[in-house]
Chain A
Amino acid sequence: QKEVEQNSGPLSVPEGAIASLNCTYSDRGSQSFFWYRQYSGKSPELIMFIYSNGDKEDGRFTAQLNKASQYVSLLIRDSQPSDSATYLCAVESPGGGNKLTFGTGTQLKVEL
């Protein structure tokens, strides 16, 4: 079982719709969770951080965390073509030290 799992996609949504990206993790002791966006051939960029159960909103992005279910998700409202990218879920190792384990990413395509 992979430590951090994501559906590779592609996930296709029409412009203006809500895109829902999901991630599960195996280590119940994990405390901090990140979502990165990566455009093709570019480096990942941080878009969300969450560590408490529940929702965290930042603009059009909402991260949701459920530690009991070991599940973290990212919602993108009013999806735009510029949101088309690969979204990486990352989980900090329980020992801390900012050592992150990444999922393989979900490719999102926002269609006109």
Chain B
Amino acid sequence: DADVTQTPRNRITKTGKRIMLECSQTKGHDRMYWYRQDPGLGLRLIYYSFDVKDINKGEISDGYSVSRQAQAKFSLSLESAIPNQTALYFCATSEKGEDGYTFGSGTRLTVV
């Protein structure tokens, strides 16, 4: 099993719908992150969490919310999806130091 699992892998949804992307990890890391990746814009931080009780906005949090249900689970919600939220979404985990991030396989979201 992958260390960081994202579900679903692909999703097509309609404008205005609420959608949740889920992330679970077996690394035992306290720190978890949600990024979105768009062509030409790179990876941009949406939300991050340093532990279950510590959740922080990233640079592009508008239109998104998150829930840290447990150390191992960090979910991203789009309350009312819009087409410009079409992107590749990555969950990542980390510990302090040189190991950097462990990324999930990504969720490709299309809002039509």
A97-B31, A100-B101 known; A105 vs B106 contact (CB < 8 Å): no
A27 on the interface (CB 8 Å rule)? no
Residues of A within 8 A of B96 (CB): 96, 98
User: How far apart are the CA atoms of A99 and B98 in the complex, in Å?
Assistant: 12
Q: Interface residue tally of chain A, by bracket?
A: 20 to 34
Chain A 49-66, CB-CB to B under 8 Å as 1, else 0, gives 101000000000000000
Smallest CB separation, B43 vs chain A (Å): 4
Among B48, B95, B100, B104, point to the contact of A34 (Cβ < 8 A): B100
Most chain A CB within a 10 A radius of its CB, from B33, B42, B45, B96? B42
Is there contact, CB below 8 Å, between A49 and B42?
A: no
> Which residues of chain A from 28 to 55 have any CB-CB distance to chain B below 8 Å in the complex?
32, 34, 36, 42-46, 49, 51
Chain A 7-27, CB-CB to B under 8 Å as 1, else 0, gives 010000000000000000000
Smallest CB separation, A94 vs chain B (Å): 14
Q: Is the interface of B mostly helix, strand, loop or mixed?
A: strand
User: How far apart are the CA atoms of A44 and B33 in the complex, in Å?
Assistant: 14
Pairs A–B under 8 Å by Cβ, sample size 25:
A8-B40, A36-B100, A42-B106, A43-B90, A43-B104, A43-B106, A44-B101, A44-B103, A46-B100, A46-B101, A49-B98, A49-B100, A90-B100, A96-B96, A97-B48, A98-B96, A98-B100, A99-B45, A100-B100, A101-B45, A102-B42, A102-B44, A104-B40, A104-B41, A105-B42
